[in-house]
Structure 1
Amino acid sequence: MFIALLEDDPDQAILVRTWLEDSGHKCAVFGSGVAITRAVHNESYDLLILDWLVPDMDGLEVLDRVRATLDWRVPVLFVTQRDAENDIVEALEHGADDYMPKPIKRAEMLAPIDAISRRSQQAPEGNDKRLEFSPYTLNTATRTIKLGEATLELTHREFELALFFFKHYGRILSRGYILEAVWGRSAELNTRTVDTHISRLRRKLSLEASNGWQLSSIYQHGYRLEQCATEQLASETSH
């Protein structure tokens, strides 16, 4: 997973980042609330780990801003020295998914993170071979996609890209995140590849309101595949 860590103690940040990277995760470290709040609007993180007490903005304020401005629910884990029961309750009421008091051991931290990782990788409806997103059917065994009864002609990369979008529909995905997840390349490489493939994919899959799905470009961020609202679909099909 791609994890954003808010921690103003450099030694603690290095320790936690090492634990995460040794477990196969990628970790971006931020020393201020302003920095991580800005970052979550420019990158697609799978998990936020927040300290409560940071110099410019406390963790709860960061959490409130994230929940208020992001239109998808990124998991949030608090790791902090504040361990009073009312602190834990307050964090959970603000939308935290879990809360762990410091000092923390490696295994204790990684257990909930691994659980989040497993949930994020689960295919819809628990079937990893045939995925239904009406009117689309994705078959991971044959690596084919059907629109209704018609089998669509896609390259291997286009299938991987479509599968990635459908598994993460409703979520804004940055170009860098898509490039790393589908191509396995660093986000520093040219992201025009992503734009070109997405344009072709949108056309080949006919991702439009009349088919119940839209693949939209999100200004200064990336792309989002979303199901059309019933009213929008009815409006489109009536014309």
Structure 2
Amino acid sequence: MRQSIESSLVRAGHFCAAYDDGVAMSRSLVRSTMDLLVLDWQDMRPAGADLLHSVRRVAGEHVPIMFVSNDGSEESMVRALAGGADDYLALPLRDAEFRARVAALLRRAYPERFSAATCFEIGPYCFDTIRRAVTLRGEPVPLSPTQYRIAALFFSNVDRVMSRDHIFATVWGRELREFTRTIDSHVSRLRVLLAIEPHNGFRLQPVYRSGYRLLRLHDHVLRE
């Protein structure tokens, strides 16, 4: 089952990481960024509701969770959904339906990425998704294509940890297989170019052994 799920997601253009149990996955979630989790209701350890609660504690409420299982009973499906799962799919896997459900979960969780709008505004920043350009308080900020992609990733995932491997896969389109300072150099330059500072309402925070998080500061923080 795992291979068919992984193959289906890869064909749909997603990067995947597979884990043998919930413990290994939870450890990875501490330092890595996952946009969506596909779990087995029965065969992973811990299983069922215990697995769901364990993963939610680490991943948070924002990340969508789908269960795929041989157990197609109404009782298990209701327990999963009532416990906080976002979807539940009984086997056998129907490839087109599975990918459609994944796409729907991603659209709901990350609307900025899938919006048909040609621009999105956040604080004093405006991102033109057609021209791939950014303005700060109405003034254009000159960014390279790579810098724009990194900036758009951060500003469409405010308050989420973006791990280095996730940044690399999203921006460069391939897996990060060895340590590199490329991402850190780009982020450092981006912080200066976009003036990501408290007076503009944001702070770009390094996260130890993981990556970065763009924090949106509240009014009381800005006044201090």
TM-score between both structures, scaled by the size of structure 2: 0.88
Deviation, 1:152, is: 2.1
Q: Which moved more, 1:71-80 or 1:143-152?
A: 143-152
Aligned to 1:187: 176
Q: 1:214 to 1:137 in 2, by over 3 A?
A: same
Q: CA deviation at 1:66?
A: 2.2
Given that residues 33 and 59 in structure 1 are in contact (C-alpha distance below 8 angstroms), is that contact kept between their aligned partners in structure 2? no
Distance in 1, Cα, partners of 2:7 & 2:39? 16
Asked if 2 retains the 8 angstrom alpha-carbon contact of 1:212 and 1:228, the reply is yes
1:153-183 CA deviation, whole Å, 9 max, x = no partner?
3223212211121122222111011012112
Note if 1:116 corresponds to 2:112: no
- Find the counterpart in structure 2 of residue 64 from structure 1: 53
Matches within 5 A, 1:169-180: 169-180=158-169
Q: CA deviation at 1:217?
A: 0.9
Residue of structure 2 equivalent to 1:4: none
Residues 2-42 of structure 1: CA deviation (Å, up to 9, x unaligned): xxxxxxxxxx2222222222332222221211111112222
Match of 2:84 in 1: 95
Quick check: 1:78 aligned with 2:67? yes
Q: Look up the equivalent residue of 1:82 and give its one-letter code.
A: D
Q: Which residue of 1 aligns with 2:25?
A: 36
CA offset at residue 233 of structure 1? 1.6
Structure 1: unaligned runs, 5 residues or longer: 1-11
Aligned to 1:27: 16
| Residue of structure 2 in register with 1:234 after alignment | 223
Structure-2 change in CA distance of 1:186 and 1:69 (3 Å): closer
Alignment partners' CA distance in 1, 2:180 and 2:62: 25
Residue number in structure 1 paired with 2:34: 45
- 1:182-234 CA distances to partner (integer Å, 9 max, x unpaired)? 12232114431001110111122121222111111111211111211222122
Aligned residues: 224
Contact 2:29/2:58 (8 A) holds in 1 = no
Q: SS at the partner of 1:24?
A: coil
Indicate if the aligned counterparts of 2:64 and 2:106 stay in contact, CA closer than 8 A. Answer: no
- Give me the identity figure in percent: 34
CA distance in 2, matches of 1:36, 1:44: 11
User: Matches of 1:187 and 1:131 in 2, distance apart?
Assistant: 29
Match of 2:128 among 118, 132, 139: 139
Helix, strand or coil at the partner of 2:17? strand
Moved more, 70-79 or 138-147: 138-147
User: Matches of 1:134 and 1:46 in 2, distance apart?
Assistant: 24
| Aligned counterpart, 2:139 | 150
1:86, distance to aligned residue in structure 2 (A): 2.6
CA RMSD, 1 decimal? 2.2
Q: Does the 8 A contact of 1:51 with 1:78 survive in 2?
A: yes
Q: Is the 8 A contact 2:37 2:63 kept in 1?
A: yes
- Supply the AA of the counterpart residue of 2:79: E
